[in-house]
Amino acid sequence: MNNRSEIWQQVDTAKDRLIALSDRIWGMPEVCYTEARSVAEHIEELRHHGFRVTENVAGIPTAVIGEAGEGGPVIAFLGEYDALPGLSQEAGVAEHRPIEAGGHGHGCGHNLLGSASLLAAIGLKNWLAENKIPGRVRYYGCPAEEGGAAKAFMVRAGAFDDADVAISWHPNSFWEVAPPLSLANTRADFIFTGRAAHAAASPHLGRSALDAVELMNVGVNYMREHMPSDARVHYALLDTGGIAPNVVQAHARVRYSIRAVDLPGMLELVARVHNIAKGAALMTETKVEMRIVSAVSNILGNSPLEKALHNAMEELGPPLFDEQDRKFAREIRATLSPEELASVYRAIGQPQTDTPLADFLVPLDAQRKPMIGSTDIGDVSWVVPTVQAHAPTVAIGTPFHTWQIVAQGKSPAAHKAMVHAAKAMAATGAAMVTDVSLLAAAKADLTERTRTTPYVSPLAEGVEPPLDMSIA
């Protein structure tokens, strides 16, 4: 019995509905923790395919779990469906053309991500049922990956406690096993409170919260020379205290994103930034409160899972793109700078070419210089053996969180790549169900990686999901 071929056929049987789901999610972009319509679409699809549905996971209204099957190991497929603010864009055009000024858009391809992960779950579920093989398949609909850390809250609530393996993917320029690299990250607000006064008649009576924010930012900038070179600190002003320059600003708020290669390094850096904020408050005779918004761990690799996924991707081969796919990809690439094109090849350690869409599998041992961000899948990887694929949904070189990603989010090439990702994930899940030794090796790998450093949630006690990010 050719297990992979049968599983791929199951994916093909369901792919049209899931491609349609992806396109619907693209058309209703909802940002961090507001994905009410998107999760409703996923719930409807789960029920259509016979999954048992659990809503409001971890107290999050836009998180869902669908489960099917009985007995055997629990194979989790992780999906996302949140969009990004300010990236509204028409599909299928290679120029910046917003649908709605200031509107949202799927600038990281999560419309594809959730749909393909659900497609993989459907394919594996149906294959197990047809062959009467015990095993439970779960689809985790995870909101708010972009800054909300929903998976970290779901892990803390125990949603993954009985899962045996977690499999996911992400839209990308390349066909590859995603390198297990990400930065631990804390998002924290620093809220300064001062005293209002007439800026001309009685400035000596005022204590400026905005001055405190400015001094904090200066202090953090001086700190950059004296922190690890692979750490990152960025900020955004949320409240500048008003628009009247003749009023001393009594309140101001700045949000910091603080990243490091691991949790201990991140927590140390958070403490240093907090000390700078306290110093700024001392200098301005204001008060400061640090409020954690979200936090995620760095991701842990899993060698047996990565090899199993790579084998499935190698056997499957890259997506088969046609000339129309390549034509649109070339048009998108024409909007990119030489630096943007060169940087993506450096990230995978491959020579730069004129190929507009990836038609090769990146070697598992490629000498990479990756561009590293943060993801809440990191927290899942500390408690469940976890692996991710990358599939070429966009033209090579396309930077993420841009209008160019949104423009390609409903393209035929993106659809082909998402189906390919689903097949690779479903086949890897089947290998975990049918090969007891492989599953044991994946679990042993996680045990070894956490033997000296057990998982501790980066979320401080009392920190709850920031369900209303507009006021979080």
Residue 119 lies in a domain: yes
CATH number, domain at 340?
Answer: 3.40.630.10
Q: How far is CA 464 from CA 60, 148, 253, 292, in A?
A: 10, 10, 20, 9
Q: Same domain, yes or no, for 320 and 250?
A: no
* Residue 115 forms part of a structural domain: yes
DSSP-based three-state secondary structure for 6: helix
Higher pLDDT, 81 or 350: 81
Residues in the chain: 472
Q: Are residues 230 and 330 in the same domain?
A: no
- In a shared domain, residues 177 and 219: no
User: Is residue 83, in this structure, part of any structural domain at all?
Assistant: yes
**What is the CB neighbour count within 10 angstroms for residue 387?**
28
Cα–Cα distance, 269 to 285 (Å, whole number): 24
Element (H, E) at 418: helix 412-434
Domain boundary among 296, 324, 349: 296
Are 136 and 31 within one domain? yes
pLDDT surpassing 50 at residue 296:
yes
150 and 247 assigned to the same domain: no
The reply to whether 419 and 355 lie within a common domain is: yes
Residue pLDDT, tens place only, 163-208: 999 999 999 999 999 999 999 999 999 999 999 999 999 999 999 9
Residue 2: what pLDDT?
Answer: 55
Which structural domain, as residue segments, surrounds residue 286?
184-296
Residue 470 lies in a domain: no
Q: Is 312 found in the same domain as 171?
A: yes
The answer to whether residue 345 sits within a structural domain is yes
* Residues 190 and 162 occupy one common structural domain: no
Residue 470 pLDDT more than 80? no
Same domain, yes or no: 341 and 429: yes
Pick from 32, 68, 266: which is nearest to 151 by CA? Answer: 32
Task: Check which CATH number belongs to the domain holding 233 and give it.
Answer: 3.30.70.360
Q: Measured on CA atoms in the order 422, 425, 429, 434, is the torsion positive or negative?
A: positive
Cα–Cα distance for residue pair 386/305, rounded to 1 Å: 7
Residue in the block written with tokens 């966009």: 394
Q: Strand pairing partners for 252?
A: 192
Q: At what angle do helices 412-434 and 436-449 cross, to 10 degrees?
A: 100
In this predicted model, what pLDDT tens digit does every residue of 1-24 receive, in sequence order? 356 789 999 999 999 999 999 999
pLDDT at 347: 77
Does residue 323 share a domain with residue 413? Answer: yes
Residue 461 within a domain: no
Q: Which of 275, 296, 317 is the last residue of a domain?
A: 296
Span 234-292, pLDDT tens digits: 999 999 999 999 999 999 999 999 999 999 999 999 999 999 999 999 999 999 999 99
Kindly state the percentage of the chain with pLDDT values over 70.
Answer: 98
Q: For residue 217, give the amino acid letter.
A: N
The total domain count for the chain is: 2
Point out the least confidently predicted range of 27-36, 41-50, 149-158, 348-357.
348-357
pLDDT bin (cut points 50, 70, 90) of residue 349 is: confident
Tens of pLDDT, residues 306-343: 999 999 999 999 999 999 999 999 999 999 988 888 88
Give the phi and the psi of residue 136 in degrees, each rounded to 5.
-115, 135
Q: Looking at residues 19-34, what average pLDDT do you find?
A: 97
